[in-house]
A = this chain, B = another copy of it.
Amino acid sequence: MARTTAMERLGRRIRLGVIGGGGEALIGPVHRIAARLDDGFEIVAGILSSDAARSRASAEALRIPRAYPDMAAMVAGEAARADGIDAVAIMTPNDTHADFAEQALAAGWDVLCEKPLANDSGSGRRLAAAVRESGRVFCLAHNYSGYAMVREARAAIAAGEIGRVHLVQVTYLQGSLGARVEDHPERMPARMKWRLDPGKGGPSHVLGDIGTHAHQLATYVLGTPVEAVLADVGAVVPGRSAHDTASVVLRMQGGARGMLLASKAASGAENRILIEAYGEAGGLRWEQANPTQLFVMRPNAPAEVRSAGLPTLHPLARRASRLPPGHPEAFLEAFANLYRDFAELVAARIAGAEPDPLAAHIPTVADGVAGLAFIDACLSSSESGTWAACRES
């Protein structure tokens, strides 16, 4: 593209600090790969453990120059440098997201934060206020919205290609809790343990862990929030206290109805994510197992298969592909798309430039607040056995 982006204007990589991701967890490497992929960041500082020695050892192994044991130390250390970090990426357990994020904003840093935003709506709303006041960029890591063809679906619906959407179905199935893993705590990885602990993982494991992804995917693609839900949330595996499954009837603003199913008890399912949406003029279908294709259906006519990388896609989707059709991009590239957009917005702030407007389609703190309201509504509906509205304030 001919136009000069804020990143080019800035003329250097964003200096990033990472908070978390030092242990065995998968998400640390994913964030670091995503940050590196398009060369928009250099990871120069990290809090990789609350134990100073461990944080140092971990940083060294990862070739991260500066290690800190906690936020106060990082704020102090980085503030003292001319080349201190511009932004942080937070990938710690759920109960600490909001705190770390608020401290980072207070230090003047932009924030890319793992989902869910927080474990309760109140914290989420406070954080949203802090983001607003700070003027800093906040990206919530709903990474599935980074897929080029998810963006194509969003752009196609926004352009009215299938008419007003009246039906939506979103499914997110995993199998990690398909059996009674709790019977063998000694075999559970650490990341599973804290996630199943309501104090750290949040009040509803399935909703916090994958339900919010499914919710965000639906609202991102349709461009409208969920208004009310009729939900059944709980454990389908006997003897389990943590929630493993949420079956949710949706009513969206604008009139779409449909369903959301999220379960971690789908034994053998391989992170199966699907969304389909239908309006008067047609339908769309996308699934992560075949991420580079979007199916566009038409009444009484052939379906269309749109491939990532095609020149005929909407600009929002074209921007999210690095390669031409037939050179598939996948999970890490989608994740990297969030980082690339985040970099552009951060660069714009630092350089006082206009960012590429297409970079503004990343999930933000507002998605996080909506996600927490969705969790609240699902839990309330499930308890009362009747409809509950999603209230974001």
Q: Which A residues are closer than 8 A to B by beta carbons?
A: 8, 12-13, 26, 29-30, 32-33, 36-39, 61-63, 162-163, 166-167, 169, 171, 173-175, 178-180, 230-232, 234, 236-238, 245, 247-251, 255-259, 261, 263, 265-272, 276, 278-283, 288-292, 295-307, 310-312, 322-333, 385-387
Contacts and interface: CB of A to CB of B under 8 A. Distances in A.
22 contacts: A29-B322, A30-B323, A36-B39, A163-B267, A169-B171, A230-B230, A232-B249, A232-B251, A234-B257, A236-B255, A236-B256, A245-B258, A259-B261, A266-B278, A268-B283, A269-B283, A270-B326, A271-B325, A301-B310, A328-B328, A328-B330, A332-B332
A272 B326 contact: yes
A244 to B, nearest CB: 9
Given A256-B236, A322-B33, A329-B330, A307 B303 contact: yes
A175 B37 contact: no
A373 B305 CA distance: 39
A107 B10 CA distance: 36
A176 to B, nearest CB: 9
A267 B279 contact: yes
Given A169-B261, A237-B280, A329 B331 contact: yes
Contact of A312 (B62, B269, B300, B386): B300
A23 B268 CA distance: 44
A301 B330 CA distance: 21
Contacts of A305: 295, 302-305
Contact of A36 (B36, B272, B330): B36
A385 B385 CA distance: 8
Number of chain copies forming the complex:
4
Given A162-B267, A267-B299, A328-B330, A230 B310 contact: no
Contacts of A297: 175, 267-270
Contacts of A245: 167, 257-258
B232 A257 contact: yes
Given A26-B324, A303-B307, A386-B386, 15 more contacts: A26-B323, A33-B322, A36-B36, A37-B37, A175-B297, A178-B282, A179-B281, A232-B251, A236-B255, A259-B261, A267-B282, A272-B326, A288-B326, A290-B290, A302-B310
B312 A302 contact: yes
A132 to B, nearest CB: 33
A26 to B, nearest CB: 7
A303 B36 contact: no
Given A178-B299, A312-B300, A267 B249 contact: no
Contacts of A386: 385-386
Contacts of A296: 302
A267 B8 CA distance: 36
Contacts of A301: 268, 310, 312
Given A247-B249, A280-B178, A297-B175, A307 B270 contact: yes
A119 to B, nearest CB: 24
Contacts of A295: 305
User: Which one of A36, A173, A247 has the greatest number of beta carbons of chain B within 10 Å?
Assistant: A247
Contacts of A173: 276, 278
A231 B272 CA distance: 24
